[in-house]
Structure formats: structure tokens, C-alpha cells
Chains A and B, each alone.
Chain A
Amino acid sequence: MKYLSKLQKMLDSGHFAVTAEIGPPKHAGAHSIRHHAQLLKNHVDATNITDSQTAIVRLSSIASGVHILDCGIEPIVQMTVRDRNRIAIQADLLGAYSLGMRNLLCLSGDHQQFGNHPTSKNVFDIDSMQLIYLMSRMRDEKKFFCGEEIKEYEPRFFIGAVANPFADPFEYRVDRLEKKIEAGAQFIQTQCIFDMERFERFMEMVRARGLDQRAHILAGVTPLKSWRAAKYIQTGVSGMIVPDSLVERLKNAADPKKEGIKVCIEQIKHIRENIKGIHGVHVMAIAWEEVVPEIVEKAGLYPRPQVEFNPEEND
């Protein structure tokens, strides 16, 4: 069996995967990316690299991916449909594949209003659903988005998508997840889970439809540094739910950062032990990448299984 990426091999082999997120810097220096990659290298199976998240200009996800790959971690390139039309998306992804990227995560992207260029024009030529479908068709049928044949060297990405169980309408989130799997998504990373009860209800519906058998679902977790961060996410970020009990817990903690890490570890253990159908965790330690190794170790996910993968083997 040929695998598209090390992450796919890990997941298909039944290992509980660990991915993390590295946010590229707001400048042209790669040292922070390389520093974080070195730090996470032995503790995660792959790292996402965000694509100008919250619409703030950052070093590109594909260029960051080159640095990460060079440090010995498999990157998951995030591609939003906010900034590029269908021509630029395809050109960039052909380039990304040629540079050794093998995992692709397809997203809409935060609206530019939230970023540092709120007067920019958004693109949204295609949407994330269409990107998933067109990239899987590019791999499986060797076709550009327009239908024209790719004569050779078609990019063969392991394709992922996101799901947000905390956005509305709640029941439709499962329909939309199914739609993404139908479109070609092979792995799913969820939005940060703080409301575990709602996530469990979501997963019940997912399992009832057998969706966990058709794609690898990785549960998203985020360690919080303070009760203010929790409050901000609760009130200021659309599509996120933070229970008051979590805000209070951080507020009452003697050392909120330690408590935040502790909460995150508890969440991972709970998800792994009690929620069926979850094939891994995705740790989004926003601007706090250095705590990931500790979280992975204390959650009992270290050492990571050794899976051999040669990115050239498909070429």
C-alpha cells in the first residue's frame, strides 16, 4: 500500500496521531519557525502551518513548510480560499508539492475585516468545499480545476478539512462534515474544543452516520494562558464556545498558565479514553508553541510511534 504522506500512514495504521500548529512570523525571518520545528520535532507527527491566520500578513504557509520539512517534520500546508483565485491556488499547490509538501488542509479563511488589511479585496473565487473536491479530483483524475488534463506529475496530497462543532446551525455541522468527506476530505481537524459536552453530542451524530469510519477525525485543543484569553474567545470570537466554568477555573487558579496546560492535558485524556471515533489530537497552542512537548508528554502520547515514510516513493 502506498501512502500519500507520513501522517496518512500513521492514521491508516491505527495510531493515535498528534499534530500541532505553528504560526509563521510577521516578518521575513525563518528563525522562529525553525526554532519551533526543532522544539516539536520529536513530539508531534506533523505540524500545520497557518495561511495568514486572522487575515494578518505572515510569512507564507508554503515557504514555512520548506523550513519545517528541512527541520525534519512533515508539514500540513493550510490553504485558504480568501486570498487566491483558482489560478493562484493551483499554481501555489503545484509548487508546494514540488517542494515536498504532502498534506493539505483546505479552509475558507477568516474574513479580512479581522486582519491588518481590512480594506483589502477578498477573493473567495471558490469555497473550501470546492477546493477539497477539485484537489482530490486533481490527484485522482489528473485534471486541473477547469477539467484540462495534467499530463504528468499531478500533485498527490493527503487532503484534510476542518469542522466546527461549535458553530451554528448545530445539526447541519454534521451534514456539512459529511459533504466535505463526500468532496474528498481524508482527515478532519476540528475547531478548538472547550465545550466537551457539545463535542460529545456532535461525535454521537458523526458516529451514527459512520463518518468516523470514512475520515480520520483529529480533535482540536488549545491551552489557554489566562482567564482573559478564555473570556475573549467566549465573547469575541464567532463560532467558539467557552463554558463559564472554564473561565472561572482559570480565574481561581494560583498559576493560570499551569492550570491552562493542565486543562488541556485533561481534555486530551478525556477525548482519547472516552470519545469513540477520534483518531488523534491537533494542538493549537496559539503563540505558545513551546508548551506542546509538555502537553504531549503528560497526556501520555510520548514517545511518538516511529513510522517510516519516503516522500519520493509516490513520484
Chain B
Amino acid sequence: MIIAQQKNIQDIAAMVGDCKKVLLAGCGGCVTVCLSGGEKETEILAAALRLMKKQAGQPLATVTYTATRQCEPEFIPPMDELVRDVDAVISLACGVGVQYLAERYKDKWIVPAMDTMFAGGATGFGSWEEKCGLCGDCVLHRTGGICPVIRCSKSIMNGPCGGSQHGKCEISKEVDCAWQLIYDRMKALGRLSELTVIQPPKDWSKARDGGPRRILREDLIKG
């Protein structure tokens, strides 16, 4: 899933500094699961903003609405009525949701409450980790199911580099060396010889470097 975290409340308040009334739009998708932008977090942020603005002598009115998912246009129209009489909308969805809101409400000021972080999952209660670099050209079958693109800080395809020590990455003792993990797993599977193959340069045009990516499925379009 997409993991996102809330921006600093001062920064969020500054984005709607001249507004009298705002809609805080939560999302029932990934950000609900990662406890950062669901219904509960939306109510808490609304209350915190009201309190903050009241203390600053610029009272702010808030309304809230949590869409099933902001990343699908069909779930957005139900908030049309609420959007009509606010000065701005603060979206607690990932960047996809913010953009769908901006597309639909062309004359409204739409701002993000979140920093969209990565595709990953929980590693324990209150901790999440990136697992997939969304590179569009999966190599997990060659690396024992451990992604070097995103879990190696240099995205090395023929690792590990000389900075790997005691299973950790050179950038931090808190970061596992992805290539140590790959080596250990391939060794355990009796497939170390596969790592001796020189992996060719990656096709980054399938990643973000090729512009916004699109998928067209003829089978579904023709239906």
C-alpha cells in the first residue's frame, strides 16, 4: 500500500492562512490503514487546526468528509455539496487523491495535508518500511524476493558495494544491506551461482524517468 504521513500542522495551517472555512477530506484507503489520513486522523487534524487558529485570533470553521477512496473519481462527487461553501479543501489522501480533487473542483484551493512517502507496509506497530520502488521492471525473481532497486541505497544490481558491513548499509546501522539479505537468501536456497551473472543496466524508461506512466489494457477497453 501507499504509506503517507501528515505534514507539520504549522505548514498545513500556513497553506490555508487566509481561509475562514475549510473542508478536511480524509481517505478510507491506504492512509486509513497506515493511520495517517483516515476518518479519525481527519477529525483530529480539524480540531487541532481550529484550536490553533482560535488561539491566533483568526477562528477557522471546519467541515470533514472521508471518502471511501480519493484515488477513484467515482468516490469524489458525494463531497460536492460540502466543497461548495468552503474557501479551501485540505486533502488527507496521498498525492493521487489531492490531484483528483483539484481536477474536479477547478475553482477551489486544494492543498495536501500529507507527504506521500512510499509503497510498503508495516514492520511493527507504528513503523512502516518501503518495499517496492515501483520501477516498472521487476527483478525480484533474480534477487531472492528482496528488492535491490529500493532497499539498496545505491540501487545496485550487482551488489553489495564496499560499504556493506555486519549486514548493514554504509548509510546507517539502522538500515539492512539489501545485498547481504539477497546473498543470505540465495545461499540458503542453493542459488548463489545465479548472482555471478552480470546483471545488465536497468530500463529506467519503465520507471518515473519516462514521464507519467500509463497502462492501456486492450482486453478491457474493447470489453
Contacts and interface: CB of A to CB of B under 8 A. Distances in A.
A167 to B, nearest CB: 5
A42 interface: no
A167 B154 contact: no
Interface in B129-159: 153-159
A166 B169 CA distance: 14
B203 to A, nearest CB: 11
Interface string A237-254: 011100000000000000
Interface string A61-101: 00000000000000000000010001000000000000000
Contacts of A122: 154
A162 interface: yes
Interface string B180-205: 10011000000010011011111010
B168 A129 contact: no
B170 A130 contact: no
A182 interface: yes
Given A108-B162, A167-B163, A238 B156 contact: no
Contacts of B200: 130
B165 A179 contact: no
Contacts of A239: 162-165, 170
Contacts of A191: 162
Interface stretch (A168-176, A285-293, A296-304): A168-176
Given A86-B201, A238-B169, A127 B154 contact: yes
Interface centre among A130, A145, A240 (most CB of B within 10 A): A130
Given A111-B163, A111-B170, A169-B180, A126 B201 contact: yes
A124 interface: yes
Contacts of B77: none
Contact of B196 (A128, A134, A169, A175): A175
B17 interface: no
Interface string A126-138: 1111100110000
B120 interface: no
B166 interface: yes
A164 interface: yes
B112 interface: no
B144 to A, nearest CB: 13
A240 B162 CA distance: 9
A182 B195 CA distance: 13
B183 A130 contact: no
B162 A145 contact: no
B117 interface: no
Given A167-B164, A172-B183, A238 B155 contact: no
A133 B198 CA distance: 9
B201 A130 contact: yes
7 contacts: A110-B163, A113-B153, A124-B154, A126-B201, A127-B157, A127-B159, A172-B160
